[in-house]
């Protein structure tokens, strides 16, 4: 983390930048994590503060309906009461990440289910060689594989929710679910697109849109590879992040 906060009288002065911030150009305020005397702390920064600029990220090919911005802080001065009092160290932002990743483990399945149901209905209606393509073995194999993977991912998410309700959830469990469910949903979007054939690249259908968006979801809130290393560390007790 390279964004810093420096105490200056009754204020803090923030310098640095944050990339890929959802709703960064629309929000009236931002919660920003920065290093204060070497410790990560949270700060509330209103958008009308001098030295605070939000620039929208242009030319995205994924999550195009989402406002995504870069936040830039150039000697941005805020009063000391804007410090989040209970933020202290890396555990504070990581708590937020765990909540977001938990939701993603569920949310990605919605995209997968939308792709599956669309492909299933399409396969029953698309006639080729005098019968619907649902009547061909390769199509049925694809549908069976997709339905199985969705069910397995749903069971993992359900167990994750049960652990959360019981207060027994651990960030390692969340990493496994985020890693698996997003990657499987991305693969499902690609597979169901093949059932739609050439129509799959049309904006009239969902699979290509979900596929492009899931490429971003596979990257944000911890990439597939980073969650792989988190799980590997939990299993072996040996860090391999570097």
Q: Tens digits of per-residue pLDDT, 83-131? A: 998 888 877 777 778 889 999 999 999 999 999 999 999 999 999 999 9
Contacts (Cβ under 8 Å, ≥6 apart) of 206: 114, 115, 118
Q: How many CB atoms lie within 10 A of CB 215?
A: 15
pTM of this prediction exceeds 0.85? yes
Task: For 27-48, give the DSSP string.
Answer: -SEEEEEEEETTEEEEEEEETT
Among 2.40.110.10, 1.10.238.10, 3.30.70.270, 1.50.10.10, what is the CATH number of 4-82? 2.40.110.10
Task: Look at strands 29-36 and 4-8 and give their pairing.
Answer: parallel
Cβ–Cβ < 8 Å for 89, 95: no
pLDDT of residue 1: 80
Mean pLDDT score across all residues of the chain = 95
Q: Tens digits of per-residue pLDDT, 96-106? A: 788 899 999 99
pLDDT of residue 56: 93
pLDDT of residue 133: 97
Q: Tens digits of per-residue pLDDT, 61-70? A: 999 999 999 9
Q: Tens digits of per-residue pLDDT, 35-75? A: 999 999 999 999 999 999 999 999 999 999 999 999 999 99
pLDDT of residue 90: 77
pLDDT above 70: percentage of residues in the chain: 100
pLDDT of residue 8: 95
pLDDT of residue 78: 97
pLDDT of residue 93: 78
pLDDT of residue 24: 93
Which of the residues are catalytic?
221
Q: Which helix (H) or strand (E) holds 119?
A: helix 91-125
CATH class of 91-236: mainly alpha
Domain-wise residue ranges, the chain? 4-82, 91-236
């Amino acid at each position: 983390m390279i964004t810093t906060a420096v105490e200056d009288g009754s204020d803090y002065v923030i310098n640095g930048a944050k990339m890929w911030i959802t709703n960064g150009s629309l929000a009236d305020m931002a919660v920003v994590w920065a290093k204060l005397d070497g410790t990560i702390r949270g700060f509330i920064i209103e958008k009308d503060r001098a030295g605070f600029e939000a620039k929208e990220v242009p030319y995205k090919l994924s999550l195009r309906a989402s406002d995504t911005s870069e936040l830039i802080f150039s000697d941005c001065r805020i009063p000391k009461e804007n410090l989040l009092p209970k933020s202290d160290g890396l555990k504070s932002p990581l708590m937020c990440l765990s909540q977001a990743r938990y939701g993603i483990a569920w949310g990605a399945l919605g995209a997968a289910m939308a792709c599956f149901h669309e492909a299933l209905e399409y396969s029953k209606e698309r006639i080729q060689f005098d019968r619907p393509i649902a009547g061909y073995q390769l199509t049925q194999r694809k549908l069976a594989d997709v339905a199985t993977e969705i069910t397995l991912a749903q069971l993992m998410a359900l167990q994750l929710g049960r652990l959360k309700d019981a207060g027994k959830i651990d960030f390692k469990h969340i990493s496994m679910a985020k890693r698996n469910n997003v990657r499987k949903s991305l693969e499902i979007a690609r597979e169901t697109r093949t059932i739609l054939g050439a129509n799959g690249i049309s904006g009239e259908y969902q699979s290509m849109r979900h596929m492009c968006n899931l490429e971003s979801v596979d990257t944000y809130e911890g990439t597939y590879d980073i969650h792989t290393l988190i799980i590997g560390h939990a299993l072996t007790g040996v860090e391999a992040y570097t």
